[in-house]
Amino acid sequence: MESRYENQVFLDPSDKDIYGVPTIKARLTYSPRDLEVIRRMEAGMRQASIACQPNWTGTNAEPDICRILPGADYHEFGTSRMGDDPLTSAADRYGQIHGISSLYVADNSVLPPIGGANPTLTTVALAIRTADNIRSRE
């Protein structure tokens, strides 16, 4: 999914979990470029799987392929982008939120939105680097 200003991840104060904490919501739409990528991926998957003869009809006669709602994937990244410029990123290269001392991000959200799966090792490496940086400041 292409990064766009219109897409948002936010806390919804009107919807709270059992502990009273606002839930995370995503307000996302596909850009024309996203739709073209989805179309090309679907065509490639159909071509590659001809030998398997899968049933491509999903819910409501729409193909399930690439049709999960934006924000429903558990490997999403990029919501707290890392970078040197506070105008284009939320955190610096060590995960510290710009302009807020002692607030750090050490999860997938600092990674660029690359659409890959299973970013665990990269996330662990970044979290260790963040912890080492915090410790060096003591």
| Total domains, the chain | 1
Does the residue 116 lie in any domain? yes
Task: Report the distance separating Cα 58 and Cα 65, nearest Å.
Answer: 8
In this predicted structure, the answer to whether residue 112 has a pLDDT above a threshold of 90 is no
For the stretch 48-73, pLDDT in tens is: 777 677 666 666 655 555 556 665 65
Does the residue 6 lie in any domain? no
Note if 75 is an active site residue. Answer: yes
Q: Mean per-residue pLDDT for 91-117? A: 85
| Number of Cα atoms under 13 Å in the Cβ half of residue 29 | 4
Does the residue 31 lie in any domain? no
Does the residue 134 lie in any domain? yes
Task: Report the distance separating Cα 65 and Cα 133, nearest Å.
Answer: 42
Catalytic residue selected from 16, 39, 67, 75: 75
Q: Mean per-residue pLDDT for 32-42? A: 89
The model's pTM: 0.54
Does the residue 135 lie in any domain? yes
Does the residue 29 lie in any domain? no
Instruction: Tell me what the pLDDT averaged over the chain comes to.
Output: 82
Domain extent for 87: 73-138
Does the residue 103 lie in any domain? yes
Task: Report the distance separating Cα 1 and Cα 121, nearest Å.
Answer: 22
Does the residue 110 lie in any domain? yes
> What is the structure's pLDDT at 128?
94
Residues of the chain with pLDDT > 70: what percent? 78
